[in-house]
């Protein structure tokens, strides 16, 4: 009697090779997905860091221009009320000047008594809240300096997986 040989023999080495190929394929997909997610995160972090420095610069410019506005009152020995009035009168030109020097930042400011408040924002959602107190002798003290991020809970434009989800 002659034995018939099957054209394909599946042995333990073939099965081990098949399992290894499947595992490597899964790992390749995971690596690609993780790399895409890491790249999206690093781009977002770079943008936030850049905007943080931009807002810090704009805030320093704002404080400097408020201090410059008070120089004349300080030289004349004016009171805190005169200093507040001078800043209130110069505030539109101060905010316009800061917006002109720091193009990507939006500046909103107001004066309430001896307190000057400014909110500087970027399109990315970074926000700097600055509160200045005008003291005797037309001095300026920084009462608050808060850098924060306004988050949007909506769907962002970052795509972590760019594969086809339709299954076709």
User: Taking the model in full, what pTM does it have?
Assistant: 0.70
Which pLDDT score is estimated for 154?
60
pLDDT at 164: 62
Confidence band for 80, pLDDT divided at 50, 70 and 90? confident
Residues 119 and 111 sit within 8 Å (Cβ to Cβ):
no
The per-residue pLDDT for range 106-147, each reduced to its tens digit, is 899 999 989 999 999 988 889 999 999 998 888 899 999 999
- Asked if 147 and 127 count as a contact pair (C-beta separation under 8 A), the reply is yes
C-alpha distances out from residue 112 to 62, 77, 109, 115, Å: 17, 21, 10, 5
Delimit the domains of the chain by residue range: 40-149
């Amino acid at each position: 009697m002659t034995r018939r040989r099957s054209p394909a023999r599946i042995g333990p080495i073939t099965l081990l090779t098949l399992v290894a190929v499947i595992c490597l394929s899964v790992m390749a997909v995971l690596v690609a997905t993780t790399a895409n997610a890491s790249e999206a995160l690093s781009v977002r972090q770079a943008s936030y860091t850049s905007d943080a420095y931009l807002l810090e610069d704009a805030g320093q410019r704002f404080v400097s221009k408020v201090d410059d506005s008070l120089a004349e009152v300080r030289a004349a020995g004016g009171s805190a009320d005169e200093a507040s009035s001078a800043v209130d009168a110069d505030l539109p030109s101060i905010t316009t000047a800061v917006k002109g020097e720091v193009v990507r930042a939006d500046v909103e400011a107001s004066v309430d008594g001896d307190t000057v408040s400014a909110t500087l924002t970027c399109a990315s959602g970074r926000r700097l809240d600055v509160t200045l107190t005008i003291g005797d002798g037309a001095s300026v003290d920084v009462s608050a300096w808060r850098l924060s991020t306004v988050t949007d809970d909506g769907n962002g434009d970052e795509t972590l997986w760019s594969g086809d989800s339709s299954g076709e």
